[in-house]
Amino acid sequence: MSVQVLRDGTLRAVALLYALCSACGEANPSPIGDAESAAGAQAVDPPSADPGKAEDTDASDEPAEKVSGPDTGGTAPTVTEAPSETSTEMPTEAPSVLDRTQWPAYPEVVFPPENPYGEDKAVLGKLLFWDEQLSSNDTVACGTCHRPAAGGSDPRPAEPGYMGHPGADGLRGTEDDPKGSPGIAACMEVPDGAPMPLMDEVFNDGPRVGRRRSMTVLDAMFWNSMFWDGRVDDVLRDPITNEVIIPKGAALEAQALAPVVNTAEMACEGRQWDMAARKIAAARPLALASELPADLLEAQQSVATYSELFEKVFGDAEVTPVRVAMAIATYERTLVANQTPWDLWHAGDDDAMSEQEKRGFDLFVVKGACSCCHSLPLFGLPALVDDGFHEISWDGGGAEMGMDRPGNYTDPTFRTVTVRNAGLREAAGLLHDGLAPGHTLDDLMAAYNEEPVRDVHMCRRALELTDQELEDLVAFSRNALTDPRAKSEQAPFDRPRLASEGPQP
């Protein structure tokens, strides 16, 4: 699907939602801006479970090659001509929500021309993503906080013995503790030596815990900014020279640079990217992990150190932060969760969704007005939306950009997270802090069914759904938007077992 097709399909969805969702007051927000941010980039169909069928490409001026996409169960139906971008006419009668031709299909994945898809690069990125050796003390990988079976987020807050961030009251073990991801324990970086442990004033000698939930990495390639507060944009800059490497469409690359030098995630105090790069270059890939998938095992056994893999992918053995980020982002762009029941239904399989899930989909679009912000087909937006669950919030999200610490915010804003695979994330909490009313889909829908604490955005109102309607809406959100491959961690969501997970029970 080209960017134009995505734009046209979204315009059809906008027109439909304009007619259906009178409570929204305006047309449904769409991901057009994200698609257009990558206009002119390499447009590539999502890699299949066997990306080895794809040929490597380079960043030349030659036309980008297509990579075979996964089979979603059929071809999406032909759609009617979209309204022109300049037209102001909107339909006065709404077509049926179950008329699948009104909805755009899952978009194709776009790779920046400066970082085109390559099979070897994707495997290198997969190795790096799951390697705890990227952290200062070998205890945290990217994948530690982003596991497919947990919907691309962190399952640990739901595990016995977990203790979160102390939250607003400054005390751990109380009800206001955000369910953030544990990072590494406090330490001091020692150049080319073992880290020196430190005592943290809050977490003592245990892992530091962030104050927000890990966002999902699944389908994240479509967003033009990252994190709950959108603080990372889509420009890739070399963290050592500050040179702009990719001027647009590189939010994944830019985000991948942050955790490696963040002391709440993977870094000791004093760590710089040049130190991390030297450590990675000398490390044996996934030396600490076990139960490696076949592609990772083959790559691991073919070399002694990461530098040899970098030479194979980039032409020489130099390990740089930019190359690390490019490889990880390439892997992340293969995490395409487009085989949910909704996607299969959209592709023509009428039985892919149950009757209850179809009723829930209708509620999601019409009476529930969920799609006003969680727009199709991605069921989310990069936009930051005012938090209507708190009168005053300790965590301001986007409102505290530039602030050194949280305070009392009357206008907290957070990303409109995708509902895709929310059913896999809810055990550890859905919203930015993982607390009620966003702990589970059930209590989240119940909260939306009541008057908001603050009237903050166009769709935020009491839904007044019946108990049966709430059940239907939850069933759709929990089941019809879950990709079974992610749930079972099958390709492309397969992974090794981390050392920090311990032996298989």
Per-residue pLDDT tens over the stretch 26-78: 333 333 333 333 333 455 554 443 333 333 333 333 333 333 333 333 333 33
Task: Give which of 36, 106, 417 is closest to 249, Cα–Cα.
Answer: 36
Same domain? For 282 and 294 the reply is yes
Contacts of residue 55, defined as CB under 8 A and 6 or more positions apart, other chains included, come to 65, 119
Pairing mode, if any, of strands 42-44 and 109-111?
antiparallel
Is residue 451, in this structure, part of any structural domain at all? no
Is residue 353, in this structure, part of any structural domain at all? no
Instruction: Identify the bridge partners of residue 470 per DSSP, sorted by sequence position.
Output: none
Contacts of residue 10, defined as CB under 8 A and 6 or more positions apart, other chains included, come to 30, 31, 32, 35, 104, 375
Task: Give which of 246, 225, 228 is closest to 34, Cα–Cα.
Answer: 225
The 3-state DSSP class for residue 435 equals: coil
| Calpha distance 393→399 (Å, rounded) | 10
Is residue 287, in this structure, part of any structural domain at all? yes
Q: Which of 52, 86, 117 is the last residue of a domain?
A: 117
Instruction: Tally the domains of the chain.
Output: 2
Same domain? For 22 and 11 the reply is yes
pLDDT at 220: 97
What is the share, in percent, of the chain residues with pLDDT greater than 70? Answer: 80
| pLDDT of 12 over the 70 cut | no
What is the average per-residue pLDDT within 144-151?
98
Pick from 272-276, 348-352, 431-435: least confident: 431-435
Q: Which of 336, 365, 390 is the last residue of a domain?
A: 336
Same domain? For 173 and 61 the reply is no
pLDDT at 454: 66
pLDDT at 401: 84
Is residue 406, in this structure, part of any structural domain at all? no
Can you give the CATH number for the domain in which 275 is found? 1.10.760.10
Same domain? For 305 and 224 the reply is yes
Pick from 47-56, 232-241, 290-299, 466-475: least confident: 47-56
From residue 104, give the alpha-carbon distance in Å to each of 13, 242, 375. 7, 38, 10
Same domain? For 270 and 179 the reply is yes
Residue-wise pLDDT tens digits, 169-199: 999 999 999 999 999 999 999 987 899 999 9
| Calpha distance 429→420 (Å, rounded) | 14
pLDDT at 405: 79
Query: Band of the pLDDT at 150, cuts 50, 70, 90?
Result: very high
pLDDT at 239: 97
pTM over 0.75: yes
Q: Which of 308, 336, 364 is the last residue of a domain?
A: 336
Same domain? For 202 and 92 the reply is no
Same domain? For 235 and 152 the reply is yes
What is the average per-residue pLDDT within 88-102?
72
Structure-model confidence comparison of residues 331 and 77, the more confident one: 331
| pLDDT of 372 over the 90 cut | no
Is residue 148, in this structure, part of any structural domain at all? yes
From residue 250, give the alpha-carbon distance in Å to each of 46, 313, 385. 17, 19, 23
Same domain? For 156 and 213 the reply is yes
Is residue 70, in this structure, part of any structural domain at all? yes
Is residue 65, in this structure, part of any structural domain at all? yes
Contacts of residue 270, defined as CB under 8 A and 6 or more positions apart, other chains included, come to 188, 189
pLDDT at 4: 35
Same domain? For 152 and 55 the reply is no
Is residue 201, in this structure, part of any structural domain at all? yes
Task: Give which of 405, 498, 444, 484 is closest to 156, Cα–Cα.
Answer: 498
What is the average per-residue pLDDT within 291-319?
98
The 3-state DSSP class for residue 153 equals: strand
Size (the chain), residues: 505
Domain range enclosing 216: 119-336
Same domain? For 167 and 253 the reply is yes
Q: What are phi and psi of 415, to 5 degrees?
A: -60, 140
Same domain? For 124 and 245 the reply is yes
Torsion from C-alpha of 412, 413, 414, 415, nearest 10 degrees = 170
pLDDT at 173: 93
| pLDDT of 265 over the 90 cut | yes
What string of DSSP letters covers 86-145?
Answer: T-----SSPPPTT-GGGSPPPPPEEE-TTS---HHHHHHHHHHHT-GGGSTTS---GGGS
Task: Give which of 157, 230, 202 is closest to 438, Cα–Cα.
Answer: 157
Contacts of residue 335, defined as CB under 8 A and 6 or more positions apart, other chains included, come to 148, 152, 217, 218, 219, 220, 221, 492, 493
Query: Cβ–Cβ contacts within 10 Å for residue 49, how many?
Result: 15
| pLDDT of 101 over the 70 cut | yes
What is the average per-residue pLDDT within 66-92?
38
Same domain? For 79 and 96 the reply is yes
